[in-house]
Structure 1
């Protein structure tokens, strides 16, 4: 038998072993370790999305719409494709934190491999390896991949679209081109307009690289755009055409429309801001300006889930150098959250773990979430630079080397691909520089172009250095030196936590290797080692930053990387991932025992209370106002009809006030006027066992009331 010895032993031909890239295998294993290790410690991950997966497993109706609750009352505020994938994994492995995280973790590893596949044909093996390694060591990419947030799978999808685009150009095949643009449409149905950040790069690369006449080229591009648009809008149009009574309310929208959700709350509102102080005006409608995930400042809770920074014991943490005010003492700033809770003033520092180094507030537009002040240098500010910006100075030098002497009519394959990655990078950087509202984990969109340009740029700069190409030969040492200085700038605010050794080691190694390239250019073997070592030195700090989520704990709601703000002993994200049950078992027992056939076990204003009950029980616990309590789903008349139809009779709501939560004061007033207050001793638990972290989720404190309504 071929490949076997006489003794029956299998022999591997030497040629096959030589074709295996063991360095790439090592990089992939590193990515797998960073993305997967310890994800089994997550109980709920981002409970909002895990609750949806739990509900989607119960019926095809819930599956298609990505219903938040098993009763099909309201959807999550994102398109369904990623949750379809997560539901498949949960169907196979069961509903666990790790099972809904796993597809994103694998997508992160897949993105690392795709970087190699995309870069190698044009730039060679070394450039491809470096691009893959940079992708694997991008901190925010690792942090997001360790959660059930959408962005890791989105980036993988867009890189798959890029592979199809490159294949279309290399083979001059129309089918691959149409497929590439269709994949962008699939990405839209993962996270809407964020997927369209790559469209300028696809247009530019196709126009530059596809070999055909301009008339045919433009006609084909128009056809590809039509395909992309059809795939993009297919789900939204189908859902919006279905009568509202036959489907869940579209969570996050103000008009029960997927299209409005895409271009409003998940579209222009992200650019213009959510209407808060310091974040621009316009944006989302007034009653949607602050959502629970973005700004959950609730006076009736001692725990805040705002940035996932609740520490053990449910105590509010203090950021070094600035204290977060007690939530019950916060005053309105004129832009109250939809739940009627006080807004957070612009000048407040972010909660610990909010992105900036110790003692520094985010400040300005979006500063509450560690996104710094809007402006051309925003991505270089300390609030954001540690997430994906480490190699931006090197990328700048690399682009000079890659594109120097470019002539539009005589572009090489290398220059065309460099322009593709640059056209992905620059518009994305511009968006994040001016956007009124985003979270740090959105910066994963920078990871692929930075990785590609760093890897290909190093290879090009090394060739220019080795071939002594005039002034371009000095771009490599200059790029290493400038990037070393920038990384020291990122590290300096963390010196007290990580130790001065990091700064000294990085400074000496990076500067020394750059000087060696400048002064010992004639010693080829020595400088070749220095060139690759210099790049590896620049990746040391990003690699450590990438490891911090698994070292100190994940923040599943608002992922980010970096040393803990309170020192090495603290977890970063105890609260955001809902890592321990927040179910009031006594409440659950009471409403279950007294259910007389109602479809909904009980209703509550927003998802933060409902989600853990959904995950643990699979029962229809309903968020009346969707994710943040601000969706205008209910009126008093609609609710009265639901009660009359025996859909629900129990309501867990704040003891007083409403301000728009769960449908507005009208709905809350109707519940209080028509309901009978259930004695607290019947349903309220005083046992600390119901709250392992010592916190008091809704339904476990003294500021909520359970009402029963029978009509």
Structure 2
């Protein structure tokens, strides 16, 4: 019995799993804080059930992070065992990435066979953006794993005809909603279509089970949001990145419609991305704003919401009704153009349109095998006849296609997203590539009329597309890889085409050559995405805005911190696109790693002069607070939430907090955002005394000890005691 179980283990799957584990986990112990915004929340959530339940950013329970709590609950459990480290909060996502590879194998194998399952798992393991985001504590990898688990339950429901599995599948999507809100619902078209096509019971029972499944989906999805929104605001943290202190507004606005429009939805303007968005205090390219102070418009400025800039200064967040300054800060021009209105987008996501996923900004992240996956879907669905029942293969092919196409459509037109959101496309691309490759290979081997040409044509077309992706990077990686991919792809296509034309009389030899050529062609097409998937290991990753791909001068992202464009980047370049890509990566890497120091002098001063206040100090935004929370576990107040624009504080509320001796020190930055309200800032300045820098700041100019690593400009410490 035991020997039989051992024989059922697929040795190639073990190798693929080890590859995925290497790409997802190797070197994560080098990441000190990961995405510090979320690591701060884990630090806070370990301190009390109150913080744990709400996913509070700070130990004082002042404001939450910008996502629901399920992923952070898991990260907190890992941190409770291993301690708070970068690797311990990354580990759940890395394991989820490996688990997703295994689930894709399990999902594909029953209907399409072991070979298709192996190929699908290998493609999933080599998907660049999946590997890149799984190496961070961003929640997308856990979301995809959750949705694949829901898919397994749905397939189980169809095979067993048991309604409980359908209920469980839709409930699992509800869990996904509490990981990243409406992004989890992107798979619903596929789930509904597959259920209606494949669940074999009478229509009355089928619709009743579907209604119950949908009700369960909504119940699980809205359980946490409704509970939180029903709790009085005074008894819970403010909902970070919302404008009305509501989880539902956050879900359907900032984490919902605003992603599509790139502008103001129910959640307000295009705020760019709290934990997963543009760092505060930076312009649309991710660069520092030269320390410019956010200032309230003077009486001579326009008061119609446009908030004109004077003397090189930008307006304070909260001073304009059209969210102008917030849009400028977080990835969109004042008109809300954002990413969908041309150019490369504020987060290097290309120009909106039907071919967006094939533009250089996104293609290297996810699209290497997308053309072949689409061709494979055509091959898989070619046998559909109007009066014939669909086979299991056809039903599942339609499921994966219904997952793929709507999400492709969304990212083709969406106004605001980040490159790592494209991990949502990884499962259907992997499944359709694996299943499609086997189907097209069978056409070729069996001389299935004109369909036998689909495999060589697919390999040749995919080869050409990969060369198109690779050539702009010739300065960084040389010409060896594109030449190798091109030569092998062309040779394999010629061999397969020759076999079709000549039809050798030795059938066994023909099949052997055909199979060998197909395997070599597949491996050649996987070489480039595998290299891209390994670039976070080779060059260094970015925990805030993860992306894959090489950078200029061979220095990697880590070597380009603060340098902007590499010195050799403008030499021997034939494409401006790579310049924009590498510059953006270097800038966001600098931003993502910029909150990793504590001003020890400031910490010592605040600790020594704390007279029982709840908060060690208050600051304008989360980036200054992160390192202090992680390193000390003490409560630090981000008055305006992540970016400084959340309308959390009023003057009356702050007065009461000071009177209650909850806070007395305020650290502000000349280049940072402004705590959500110019009135609050004005009140602080009018009622506080400035603490001389000699008492809390290092005298060494080169000491990189300002709270946000100097990104927020020069800092001022105020003390208020009423």
Structure 1 residues 180 and 701: alpha-carbon distance in aligned structure 2, compared to 1, 3 A threshold: closer
Q: Which moved more, 1:27-36 or 1:289-298?
A: 289-298
RMSD value, Cα: 2.8
The whole-number CA distance in structure 2 between the counterparts of 1:596 and 1:218 is 64
Structure 1 residues 69 and 583: alpha-carbon distance in aligned structure 2, compared to 1, 3 A threshold: same
Correspondence 1:685 to 2:663: no
| 2:539–2:551 Cα contact (<8 Å) kept | yes
Structure 1 residues 567 and 147: alpha-carbon distance in aligned structure 2, compared to 1, 3 A threshold: same
| 1:336–1:342 Cα contact (<8 Å) kept | no
Aligned twin of 2:90: 101
Residue in structure 1 matching 2:268, options 285, 298, 321? 285
| 1:122–1:414 Cα contact (<8 Å) kept | yes
| 1:273–1:437 Cα contact (<8 Å) kept | yes
Matches within 5 A, 1:136-285: 136-274=125-263, 284-285=267-268
The whole-number CA distance in structure 2 between the counterparts of 1:339 and 1:705 is 26
Aligned twin of 1:395: 373
Q: Which moved more, 1:438-447 or 1:682-691?
A: 682-691
Structure 1 residues 291 and 570: alpha-carbon distance in aligned structure 2, compared to 1, 3 A threshold: closer
The whole-number CA distance in structure 1 between the counterparts of 2:671 and 2:314 is 18
Structure 1 residues 291 and 45: alpha-carbon distance in aligned structure 2, compared to 1, 3 A threshold: closer
The whole-number CA distance in structure 2 between the counterparts of 1:60 and 1:176 is 32
Aligned twin of 2:716: 705
Aligned twin of 2:634: 619
Aligned twin of 1:319: none
Q: Deviations over 1:596-644 (max 9, x none)?
A: 0000000001000001100000000110011111111100110000000
| 1:297–1:343 Cα contact (<8 Å) kept | no
Residue in structure 1 matching 2:404, options 421, 425, 436? 425
Structure 1 residues 625 and 633: alpha-carbon distance in aligned structure 2, compared to 1, 3 A threshold: same
Q: TM-score, normalised by structure 2?
A: 0.86
Correspondence 1:385 to 2:363: yes
Aligned twin of 1:551: 538
Correspondence 1:528 to 2:515: yes
SS in 1 for 2:361: coil
SS in 1 for 2:244: coil
The whole-number CA distance in structure 2 between the counterparts of 1:391 and 1:203 is 26
| 2:39–2:89 Cα contact (<8 Å) kept | yes
Aligned twin of 2:667: 652
The whole-number CA distance in structure 2 between the counterparts of 1:134 and 1:426 is 18
The whole-number CA distance in structure 1 between the counterparts of 2:331 and 2:409 is 28
Aligned twin of 2:325: 337
- Structure 2: 5+ residue stretches without partners: 292-310, 504-509, 559-585
Deviation of the 1:568 alpha carbon: 3.6
Structure 1 residues 425 and 309: alpha-carbon distance in aligned structure 2, compared to 1, 3 A threshold: farther
Aligned twin of 2:608: 593
Deviation of the 1:102 alpha carbon: 0.3
- Structure 1: 5+ residue stretches without partners: 4-11, 276-281, 299-303, 315-327, 351-360
Aligned twin of 1:135: 124
The whole-number CA distance in structure 2 between the counterparts of 1:699 and 1:542 is 36
Aligned twin of 1:376: 354
Residue in structure 2 matching 1:463, options 424, 429, 442? 442
SS in 1 for 2:360: coil
Residue in structure 2 matching 1:584, options 596, 599, 608? 599
Deviation of the 1:569 alpha carbon: 4.7
| 2:65–2:239 Cα contact (<8 Å) kept | yes
Deviation of the 1:687 alpha carbon: 3.4
Deviation of the 1:344 alpha carbon: 6.5
Aligned twin of 1:323: none
Deviation of the 1:527 alpha carbon: 1.0
SS in 2 for 1:160: helix
SS in 2 for 1:154: helix
Q: TM-score, normalised by structure 1?
A: 0.88
Structure 1 residues 261 and 219: alpha-carbon distance in aligned structure 2, compared to 1, 3 A threshold: same
| 2:101–2:125 Cα contact (<8 Å) kept | yes
Deviation of the 1:464 alpha carbon: 1.5
Deviation of the 1:688 alpha carbon: 6.1
SS in 2 for 1:662: coil
SS in 2 for 1:706: strand
| 2:129–2:548 Cα contact (<8 Å) kept | yes
Q: Deviations over 1:559-599 (max 9, x none)?
A: 00000145345425643443773211111111111000000
Aligned twin of 1:514: 493
Correspondence 1:405 to 2:383: yes
Q: Which moved more, 1:672-681 or 1:520-529?
A: 520-529
| 2:177–2:184 Cα contact (<8 Å) kept | yes
Structure 1 residues 555 and 656: alpha-carbon distance in aligned structure 2, compared to 1, 3 A threshold: closer
Q: Deviations over 1:510-562 (max 9, x none)?
A: 11101110102432211110012111111000000000001100100000000
Deviation of the 1:690 alpha carbon: 4.7
Deviation of the 1:286 alpha carbon: 4.4
The whole-number CA distance in structure 2 between the counterparts of 1:668 and 1:610 is 17
Q: Which moved more, 1:403-412 or 1:45-54?
A: 403-412
Structure 1 residues 569 and 260: alpha-carbon distance in aligned structure 2, compared to 1, 3 A threshold: closer
| 2:35–2:138 Cα contact (<8 Å) kept | yes
| 2:249–2:266 Cα contact (<8 Å) kept | no
Q: Deviations over 1:432-455 (max 9, x none)?
A: 001000000000000000000000
Aligned twin of 2:566: none
Structure 1 residues 297 and 98: alpha-carbon distance in aligned structure 2, compared to 1, 3 A threshold: closer
The whole-number CA distance in structure 2 between the counterparts of 1:186 and 1:465 is 43
Q: Deviations over 1:250-304 (max 9, x none)?
A: 11111111111000110000000035xxxxxx57424947758533462xxxxx5
The whole-number CA distance in structure 1 between the counterparts of 2:481 and 2:334 is 33
The whole-number CA distance in structure 2 between the counterparts of 1:539 and 1:616 is 42
How many matched pairs? 659
Residue in structure 1 matching 2:617, options 574, 589, 602? 602
Residue in structure 2 matching 1:69, options 45, 49, 58? 58
SS in 2 for 1:653: strand
Correspondence 1:126 to 2:138: no
Q: Deviations over 1:359-385 (max 9, x none)?
A: xx9982661211000000000001100
Structure 1 residues 30 and 309: alpha-carbon distance in aligned structure 2, compared to 1, 3 A threshold: farther
Structure 1 residues 655 and 389: alpha-carbon distance in aligned structure 2, compared to 1, 3 A threshold: closer
SS in 1 for 2:667: strand
SS in 2 for 1:420: helix
Structure 1 residues 189 and 44: alpha-carbon distance in aligned structure 2, compared to 1, 3 A threshold: same
Q: Which moved more, 1:364-373 or 1:27-36?
A: 364-373
The whole-number CA distance in structure 1 between the counterparts of 2:370 and 2:270 is 38
The whole-number CA distance in structure 2 between the counterparts of 1:346 and 1:139 is 33
SS in 1 for 2:406: helix
| 2:24–2:131 Cα contact (<8 Å) kept | yes
Aligned twin of 1:295: 278
The whole-number CA distance in structure 1 between the counterparts of 2:84 and 2:662 is 26
The whole-number CA distance in structure 2 between the counterparts of 1:274 and 1:556 is 25
